[in-house]
């Protein structure tokens, strides 16, 4: 069979974009049995439309007071009702916890065009992810203290925005109850608690800085706010990184779980969808594979975050590894043997997928590097083609499902033009993710709806500062 590729020319907001990517077609060197094994990852247009329909129903359930408690997509109210005006000023601290790194930031909003950000990433010991909540928050406070002392801020009374990227039921801008851990975290004694209190208590226990936690926000909200600072038409924030989630601007009257939804003078409310949990009630089985089920079983939260586990960077690599190991066991790849490293769970990093797909078709420079890191030697071209084919199957399903999610939100908002602010390692580093997302959204959206996908810089820094500014201003008005 001939290698098939598809050329799609697409024009949106100006420049003509040429997209070249394979759409699930079998490359010449890939064995038909391997093709059959990855078939489950290929979702056609009909299935994508079905995903949009089912997700629409779930989002409506999450928003409505009567159905919220049994909804899987919770649509939490963020209590952020103001998009940035560009007039926000001042110095803010921010903490960013939720992905593979932990960061402390100092953000100085100097003028509309001048935002100074100083940040430091800290090594996050893996043991903290499953230790006690106290140990986790003490560590965060310790890093914050180190940062403040280094920058001579210990005597400054600074407001802090806490980007905490987990499902949180917010009861105000500065009160958020953790509903469940995701992305491999499972610290004891935090679920059901107000995480702002836990953080502030840890800061106060130290007694060596004057920081006041004024706001807690999800990373999607920071991403939206940060993007809206420069793109006033930004109404959706998306993360496709270690985890996946989206938020959007809803009419306050539709945010029924917000106490003042009928009386608030402010017309909008950012909704943190927490779309990662979509499918936890079984409605996504028709797009899941046996490999998804294996991955799910070995996570600390089996049966939870079904959609996220099909989409995000924490799981994509492991999905590829499981397919490859299955092919090896069936003697269809690598002469039926593989390395010790490849046999270890989670050893195939999702960044390898981006690397492998970055090679031009027929070239294997990055692929060879990945194989050597994994200790796999003596591979022939068909093995490398098969590996790339498996990576493409996993990444294109991720992009298709993400496109379904965004289209669901755009339809729900019933708007004709929108900017979507995006962050996360999968979106940033996968060579075709942006193009795939755009391609599939365009196919699913009603004609005439225009959208722009924009990388949002520093959601957890600038975004957190903007939300903290809202909180400080709100308090000042009271
Ligand atoms: C969390 C979300 C977060 C997303 C991206 C998910 O696991 O539940 O709150 O926005 O990851 O970081």
Ligand 1 centre distance from Cα of residue 423 (Å): 12
Indicate if 208 belongs to the active site: no
pLDDT at 8: 28
Mean pLDDT across the stretch 383-400? 97
Output the pLDDT for position 414.
Answer: 97
- For the Cβ of 274 lying below 6 angstroms from any atom of ligand 1, the answer is yes
**Ligand 1 centroid to 428 CA: how many Å?**
16
- Name the DSSP letter for residue 16: E
The preferred substitution site among 76, 183, 316 for testing ligand 1, maximizing ligand atoms within 8 Å of CB, is 183
Which of 14-18, 106-110, 304-308, 394-398 is predicted least confidently?
A: 14-18
* Known catalytic membership, residue 96: no
Nearest protein CA to atom 2 of ligand 1, as residue: 166
Average pLDDT over residues 354-358: 98
347: confidence class by pLDDT, cuts 50, 70, 90:
very high
Q: Sorting pLDDT into bands at 50, 70 and 90, what band is 27?
A: low
Q: What pLDDT sits at residue 108?
A: 95
**In the prediction, which pLDDT does 101 show?**
81
168-172 and 234-240 as β-strands: parallel, antiparallel, unpaired? unpaired
Atom of ligand 1 nearest to the CA of 239: 5
Average pLDDT, the chain: 92
244 CA to centre of ligand 1 in angstroms: 5
Q: Is 14 left (phi over 0), alpha (psi -120 to 50) or beta?
A: left
Distance CA 378, CA 331 (A): 15
* The residue count for the chain: 478
Q: How confident is the model at residue 4 (pLDDT cuts 50, 70, 90)?
A: very low
Cα torsion at 271, 274, 275, 279 (round to 10°)?
-130
Alpha-carbon torsion (285, 314, 176, 453), positive or negative: negative
The predicted pLDDT at position 460 comes to 84
Phi, psi of 453 (to 5 degrees): -100, 120
When pLDDT is cut at 50, 70 and 90, the band that residue 28 belongs to is low
In this structure, the residue with its CA closest to atom 8 of ligand 1 is 166
Beta strands in 220-337 (DSSP E): 234-240, 244-251, 268-272
CB proximity list for 292: less than 8 A, separation 6 or greater: 309, 310, 319
Residue spans of alpha helices (H) in 174-218: 195-206
Strand partners, 420: 236, 453
Closest ligand 1 atom number to CA of residue 243: 11
pLDDT attached to residue 174 = 96
Q: Which of the following is catalytic: 183, 309, 349, 432?
A: 183
Tell whether ligand 1 has an atom less than 6 A from the beta carbon of residue 460. no
Output the residue whose Cα is nearest ligand 1's atom 3. Answer: 165
Q: Is the pLDDT of residue 39 over 70?
A: yes
The answer for 90, left when phi > 0, alpha when psi is -120 to 50, beta otherwise, is: left
Residue 477 near residue 461 (C-beta atoms within 8 A)? no
Active-site annotation holder among 138, 219, 296, 355: 219
- Please tell me if the CB atom of residue 276 comes closer than 6 angstroms to any atom of ligand 1: yes
139-165 pLDDT, tens digit each: 999 999 999 999 999 999 999 999 999
Res 303 pLDDT > 80: yes
167 lines ligand 1 (CB under 6 A): yes
Tens digits of per-residue pLDDT, 173-230? Answer: 999 999 999 999 999 999 999 999 999 999 999 999 999 999 999 999 999 999 999 9
pLDDT on residue 355: 98
Ligand 1: atom nearest CA of 220 is: 10
Beta carbons of 105 and 159 less than 8 angstroms apart: no
pLDDT confidence band for 475 (50 / 70 / 90) = low
CA–CA gap between residue 241 and residue 174 (Å, rounded):
25
Q: What is the pTM of this model?
A: 0.92
Q: Is the CB of 278 under 6 A from ligand 1?
A: no
Ligand 1 atom nearest to CA at 98: 12
C-alpha span between 405 and 275 (Å, rounded): 8
Question: Is 245's C-beta closer than 6 angstroms to any atom of ligand 1?
Answer: yes
CA nearest neighbour of 24 among 9, 8, 41:
41
413-447: per-residue pLDDT in tens? 999 999 999 999 999 999 999 999 999 999 999 99
In angstroms, what is the span from residue 415 Cα to ligand 1's centroid?
Answer: 25
- Our answer on whether the CB atom of 220 is closer than 6 Å to any ligand 1 atom is yes
Q: What is the CA radius of gyration of the chain?
A: 23
- Among residues 193, 94, 188, 91, which one has the least CA distance to residue 140? 94
Q: What token pair was written down for 304?
A: 């939870």
pLDDT at 12 over 70: no
For residue 464, the CA-to-ligand 1 centroid distance in Å is: 15
The angle, 0 to 180 degrees and rounded to 10, between the axes of the packed helices 381-413 and 365-373 is 100
Pocket flag, ligand 1, residue 218 (CB < 6 Å): yes
- Summarize the confidence of residues 447-458 as an average pLDDT: 95
pLDDT at 477: 41
Helices (H), 16-126: 32-38, 45-63
The dihedral formed by the CA atoms of 49, 50, 56 and 58, expressed in degrees to the nearest 10: -160
| Beta-sheet pairing, 244-251 with 234-240 | antiparallel
| φ, ψ for residue 452, nearest 5 deg | -135, 130
| pLDDT at position 252 | 97
For residue 180, the SS3 value is coil
Confidence bin at 113 (pLDDT 50/70/90): confident
Q: Is the CB–ligand 1 distance for residue 74 below 6 Å?
A: no
């Amino acid at each position: 069979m001939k290698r098939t590729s598809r050329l799609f020319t697409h024009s949106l907001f100006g420049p003509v974009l040429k997209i070249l990517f394979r759409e699930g077609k079998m490359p010449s060197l890939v064995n038909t049995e391997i093709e059959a094994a990855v078939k489950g990852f290929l979702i056609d247009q009909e299935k994508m439309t079905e995903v949009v329909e089912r997700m629409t129903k779930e989002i409506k359930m999450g928003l409505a007071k009567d159905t919220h408690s049994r909804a899987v997509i919770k649509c939490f109210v963020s209590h952020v009702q103001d998009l940035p005006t560009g007039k926000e000023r001042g110095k803010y601290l921010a903490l960013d916890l939720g992905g593979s790194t932990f960061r402390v930031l100092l953000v100085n909003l100097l003028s509309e065009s001048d935002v100074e950000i100083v940040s430091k990433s800290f090594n996050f010991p893996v043991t903290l992810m499953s230790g006690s909540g106290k140990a986790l928050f003490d560590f965060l406070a310790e890093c914050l203290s180190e940062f403040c002392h280094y920058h001579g801020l210990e005597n400054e009374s600074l407001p802090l925005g806490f980007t905490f990227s987990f499902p949180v039921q917010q009861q105000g801008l500065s009160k958020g109850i953790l509903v469940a851990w995701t992305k491999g975290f499972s610290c004891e004694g935090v679920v059901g608690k107000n995480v702002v209190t836990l953080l502030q208590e840890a800061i106060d226990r130290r007694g060596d800085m004057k920081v006041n936690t004024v706001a807690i926000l999800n990373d999607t909200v920071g991403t939206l706010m940060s993007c809206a600072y420069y793109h006033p038409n930004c109404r959706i924030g998306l993360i496709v990184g270690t985890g996946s989630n989206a938020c959007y601007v809803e009419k306050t009257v539709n945010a029924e779980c917000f106490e003042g939804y009928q009386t608030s003078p402010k017309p909008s409310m950012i909704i943190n969808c927490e779309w990662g949990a979509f499918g936890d009630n079984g409605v996504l089985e028709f797009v899941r594979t046996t490999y998804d089920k294996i991955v799910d079983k070995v996570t600390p939260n089996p049966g939870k975050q079904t959609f996220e586990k099909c989409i995000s960077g924490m799981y994509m690599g492991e999905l590829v590894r499981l397919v490859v190991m299955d092919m090896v066991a069936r003697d269809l790849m690598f002469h039926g043997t593989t390395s010790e490293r490849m046999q270890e769970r989670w050893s195939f990093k999702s960044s390898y997928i981006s690397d492998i797909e970055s090679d031009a078709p027929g070239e294997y420079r990055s692929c060879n590097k990945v194989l050597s890191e994994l200790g796999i030697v003596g591979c022939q071209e068909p093995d490398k083609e098969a590996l790339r084919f498996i990576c493409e199957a996993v990444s294109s399903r991720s992009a298709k499902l993400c496109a379904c999610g965004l289209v669901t939100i755009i339809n729900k908002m019933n708007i004709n033009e929108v900017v979507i602010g995006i962050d996360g390692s999968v979106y940033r580093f996968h060579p075709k993710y942006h193009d795939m997302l755009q391609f599939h959204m365009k196919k699913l959206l009603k004609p005439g709806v225009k959208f722009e996908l924009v990388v949002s810089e520093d959601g957890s820094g600038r975004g957190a500062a903007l939300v903290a500014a809202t909180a400080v201003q709100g308090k000042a008005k009271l």
